[in-house]
Amino acid sequence: MEYKTIRCSSLLNTITKRDTLFIGTYTLDPYQNCEFKCCYCDSSTENTVYIKINAAQILEIELKKLQKNHKRKNDKGFIIIGSISDPYQEAEKEYGITKNLLETIRQHGFPCHILTKSTLILRDVDTLVEMKKAVVTISMISLDENISNIFEGKTPSPMERLKTVKKLSEKGIQAGIAVIPLLPYIVEDELKDIIEMAYRHKAHHLLHRCLELKGDQKKIFMETIEKTYPHLIDNYKKLYGDSYKPDRRYTLRLNKLINSYCEKHGIPTAIRNYV
């Protein structure tokens, strides 16, 4: 991967429709594109990661403006960090953009929700503990390292991610798991085990959403299926048809199954107690 530094003129994006899954009001991404190269992601074909080198300075300006606009002290809204590209990809080790952004958010008293696949978030645990409210969601698609290696490129192993959730939870941080995207026909048989492991590793929540395939990503993902799971290619073509979403009946069935497993272990399938 090639790194290129850029200067951004804005960082925060306002979510116009209420986000019930990730509880966000605003989103920000410290990096453009991602070197984890998950084959279900839009960034999987990109070879350049753009580093927003002045991100913390821009966020400082934007948060000051937001504070002036909020009439109620507690009505600030959650900032989602890593809505498109992972904020703790390898570039973060060198540039520390996410680390600086978290400190800026902490200083201004805003709550945040961090989405990542990386264990590097443990580096910033002290800042997270000091924040007004920090929610962390670690995403994974399977407990099987082989499946993870096929679809998720250079990400940490599933067990490393689970251990990260446990360490964050033990520090008093609201940390959970996201089975996003849920890969049809590939991980159905291990959903019970995934939720059991989430429970054992003290996950505060488990979010889930079925795989969506938009634009060129559908072609890239289908090529991966044809190469690694050729017996499933016809199932996928039938399930998705001309849509980017799987058949609704399939989604409802999986949702019901996941919800029943989570209910058994007392794991919420939504983020609670965040205001």
The answer as to whether 207 is a domain residue is yes
Other C-beta atoms closer than 10 Å to the C-beta of 5 total 11
Q: Between 164 and 46, where is the model more confident?
A: 164
Query: Is 213 part of any domain?
Result: yes
> What are the residues facing 14 on neighbouring strands?
26
On the question of pLDDT at 177 being above 80, the answer is yes
Summarised one tens digit per residue, pLDDT across range 86-102 is 999 999 999 999 999 99
Q: Is residue 271 part of a domain?
A: no
Domain region containing 75: 2-265
- pLDDT grade, residue 19 (50/70/90)? confident
Joined together, the tokens standing for residue 12 give 């925060």
Res 18: pLDDT? 75
Q: What is the pLDDT of residue 70?
A: 66
Q: Is residue 197 part of a domain?
A: yes
At residue 46 the predicted structure's pLDDT band, cuts being 50, 70 and 90, is: confident
| Cβ-proximal residues to 22 (8 Å cutoff; 6+ apart), any chain | 80, 83, 113, 115, 137, 207, 271
The count of structural domains within the chain is: 1
User: Is the CB of residue 141 less than 8 Å from the CB of residue 148?
Assistant: yes
> In this model, does residue 33 exceed pLDDT 60?
yes
- pLDDT score at 273: 65
Structure tokens at 236: 């996928």
First to last CA, the chain: 39
Q: What is the 3-state secondary structure (H, E, C) of 49-79?
A: EEEECCHHHHHHHHHHHHHHHCCCCCCCCCE
User: What DSSP letter does each residue of the chain carry, written as one string?
Assistant: -EEEEE--S---EE-SS--TTT--SEEE-SEES-TT--TTSGGGG--EEEEETTHHHHHHHHHHHHHHH-SSTT----EEE-SSS-TTSTHHHHH-HHHHHHHHHHHTT--EEEEES-GGGGGGHHHHHHSS-EEEEEE-S-S-HHHHHHHSTTPPPHHHHHHHHHHHHHTT-EEEEEEEEE-TTTSGGGHHHHHHHHHHTT-S-EEEEE----THHHHHHHHHHHHH-GGGHHHHHHHHTTSSS--HHHHHHHHHHHHHHHHHHT--SS--S--
Residue 84: predicted pLDDT: 94
Q: Which residue has the tokens 């029943």?
A: 260
CATH number at residue 60: 3.20.20.70
* pLDDT of 76 above 80: no
Q: Is residue 274 part of a domain?
A: no
Is the pLDDT reported for residue 216 higher than 80? yes
pLDDT at 75 over 80: no
Q: Put the strands of the sheet holding 174-182 in their side by side order.
A: 13-14, 26-28, 79-81, 112-116, 134-139, 174-182, 206-210
Tokens 């090529």 belong to residue: 223
pLDDT of residue 29: 98
Query: Which candidate, 101, 93, 138, 91, places its Cα nearest to that of 116?
Result: 138
Arithmetic mean of pLDDT, 238-247:
96
Confidence tier at 74 by pLDDT (50, 70, 90): low
Q: Name the residue with tokens 């966020």.
A: 59
Please give the model's pTM, rounded to 2 decimal places.
0.95
- Using alpha carbons, list the distances in angstroms from residue 194 to 143, 144, 191, 208, 240: 7, 10, 5, 12, 25
- Mean pLDDT over residues 139-146, rounded? 97
Range name among 61-75, 123-137, 235-249 with the lowest pLDDT average: 61-75
Q: What is the pLDDT of residue 104?
A: 97
Q: Quickly tell me which residue has 């306002």 as its tokens.
A: 14
Residue 119 is assigned to a structural domain of this protein: yes
Q: Hey, what are 121's tokens? A: 């978030």
What mean pLDDT value characterizes the chain?
94
Residue 20 confidence (pLDDT) above 60? yes
Would you say residue 260 has pLDDT above 90?
yes
Q: Output the six-digit token pair for 87.
A: 């904020």
pLDDT of amino acid 86: 97
